[in-house]
């Protein structure tokens, strides 16, 4: 009986020793796994930013030129930097020559009207004489028919009546010519009045004067260039250069954060236009961005902008954890202390994080650095700073 008990005790001791040895071996094997920094995929907001830069310029420039050629500039009423309204007088041209021309035309009109009045009087006289001649011719025809008047004399009276009617028509045509002459003179006078009104060079729209080339005493001429240059409504925009790859991602209406050189506070704006052509030499396109607030801005200032192409919530990981290649992007997913290379589809890259569109879920544990000498299938000891769940799992 004692032998049986002793044998059972010895067998139990051997079994316990074997189990302890196996556990010690497993523990030693686990301790041999190298510690590797790991991170968890998490849900966060990602913003697709396109960085551009360029110069601030007028959204629309207006060139103010004289509408009357050959007149001297008498007075300049606007200077560079002035804010003007539509219709404000910017300059006055000399009107002496035009006033003289108008006086001459007024005299010609009076002369033509006097001639027309004479023709009207002549017409009345000729019509009266013609009426009398027609009556005489009618009586002559009647008497000749009765044989009491010479046929020759009756024909002569008829000829005089016909000549009288022709003279009336001639006077009527002369009256029409005289009236046409008056109409021509009146049209010339209207043209002079228009030129006189245009001797006041006015602002065609609201805006800010940015250049003044006109000088008092010089002859105004469109061929000499613009007298004034204006920015319509004072509106400015950023004309930014964009690479050809980024240009296709930008659309009108996208928001932008703008940092202007020399200003501490950033500005906001909206993409107004994506120009349809690129430079054949630099391979750059141009994007025009309107400012929401253009106070203190000046044309010619340098500015940088971040165009917000997209903004959304998604699963993100550090950029360093993704292995990027032509064959496809991948990460090393950690499950039960072992790595598994997992193909992923990446999306927006926002700073030091990148969006994972497909292949990972929020909370998945992955190797923090894709090139950390870790291969697919390696056993590792993942270390996640500040992650109680992972720390507890490793301790267990």
Q: Where does 50-58+234-311 sit in CATH, by number?
A: 2.40.30.170
Domain 33-46+314-395 indexed as CATH 3.30.1300.10: no
CATH 2.40.50 given to domain 63-91+204-230: yes
- Write down the pTM of the prediction: 0.66
In contact, 41 and 315? CB cutoff 8 Å: yes
- Give the contacts of 237 (CB within 8 A, at least 6 positions apart): 56, 57, 58, 59, 269, 272, 288, 289, 290, 291
CA distances (Å), origin 87, targets 77, 211, 221, 256: 13, 18, 20, 35
Q: What is the predicted pLDDT for the residue at 22?
A: 52
The H-or-E segment that residue 162 falls in is helix 151-197
Looking at residue 300, what is its pLDDT? 93
Rg (alpha carbons) of the chain, rounded to whole number: 50
Q: What is the DSSP letter of 148?
A: S
What tokens does 280 get?
């054949």
What residue segments make up the domains of the chain, in order of their start?
33-46+314-395, 50-58+234-311, 63-91+204-230, 96-197
- Per DSSP bridges, beta strands 219-220 and 338-350 are unpaired
**Tens-digit pLDDT profile for the chain (396 aa)?**
445 444 444 445 444 444 544 554 454 444 567 898 999 999 999 999 999 999 999 999 999 999 998 899 999 999 999 999 999 999 999 999 999 999 999 999 999 999 989 988 888 888 888 888 888 888 888 887 777 777 777 788 788 888 888 988 988 899 999 899 999 999 999 999 999 999 999 999 999 999 999 999 999 988 888 999 999 999 999 999 999 989 999 999 999 999 999 999 999 999 999 999 999 999 999 999 999 998 889 999 999 999 999 899 999 999 999 988 888 899 999 999 899 999 999 999 888 999 999 999 999 999 998 876 888 888 989 998 655 454 434 333
Distance CA 387, CA 37 (A): 12
**Do 63-91+204-230 and 33-46+314-395 have the same topology in CATH?**
no
Rounded to an integer, what distance in angstroms lies between the CA atom of residue 145 and that of residue 135? 16
Secondary structure (3-state) at 179:
helix
Q: What tokens does 76 get?
A: 């300049």
């Amino acid at each position: 009986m004692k032998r049986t008990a002793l044998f059972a005790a010895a067998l139990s001791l051997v079994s316990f020793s074997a189990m302890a040895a196996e556990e010690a071996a497993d523990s030693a094997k686990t301790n041999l796994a190298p510690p590797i920094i790991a991170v968890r995929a998490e849900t966060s907001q990602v913003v697709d930013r396109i960085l551009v830069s360029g110069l601030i310029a007028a959204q629309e420039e207006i060139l103010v030129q004289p509408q009357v050629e050959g007149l001297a500039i008498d007075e300049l009423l606007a200077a560079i930097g002035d804010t003007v309204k539509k219709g404000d007088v910017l300059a006055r041209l000399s009107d002496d020559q035009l006033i003289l021309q108008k006086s001459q035309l007024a005299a010609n009109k009076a002369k033509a009207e006097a001639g027309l009045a004479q023709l009207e009087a002549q017409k009345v006289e000729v019509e009266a004489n013609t009426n009398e001649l027609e009556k005489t011719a009618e009586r002559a025809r009647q008497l000749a028919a009765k044989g009491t008047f010479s046929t020759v004399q009756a024909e002569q009276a008829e000829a005089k009546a016909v000549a009288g009617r022709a003279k009336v028509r001639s006077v009527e045509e002369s009256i029409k010519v005289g009236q046409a002459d008056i109409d021509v003179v009146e049209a010339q006078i209207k043209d002079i009045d228009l030129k006189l009104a245009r001797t006041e060079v006015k602002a065609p729209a609201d805006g800010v004067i940015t250049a003044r080339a006109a000088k008092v005493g010089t002859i105004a001429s469109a061929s000499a260039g613009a007298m004034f240059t204006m920015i319509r409504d004072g509106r400015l925009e950023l004309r930014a250069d964009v690479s050809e790859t980024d240009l296709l991602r930008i659309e009108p209406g996208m928001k932008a954060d703008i940092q202007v050189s020399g200003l501490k506070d950033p500005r906001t704006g909206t993409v107004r236009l994506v120009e349809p052509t690129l430079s054949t030499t630099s391979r750059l396109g141009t994007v025009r961005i309107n400012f929401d607030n253009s106070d203190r801005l000046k044309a010619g200032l340098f500015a940088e902008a971040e165009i917000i192409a997209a903004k959304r919530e998604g699963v993100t990981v550090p950029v360093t954890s993704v292995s990027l290649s032509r064959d496809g992007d991948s990460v090393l997913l950690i499950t039960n202390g072992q790595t598994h290379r997992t193909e992923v589809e990446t999306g927006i890259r926002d700073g030091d994080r990148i969006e994972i569109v497909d292949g990972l879920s929020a909370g998945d544990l992955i190797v923090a650095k894709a090139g950390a000498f870790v291969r697919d299938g390696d056993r590792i000891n993942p270390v996640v700073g500040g992650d109680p769940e992972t720390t507890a799992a490793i301790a267990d």
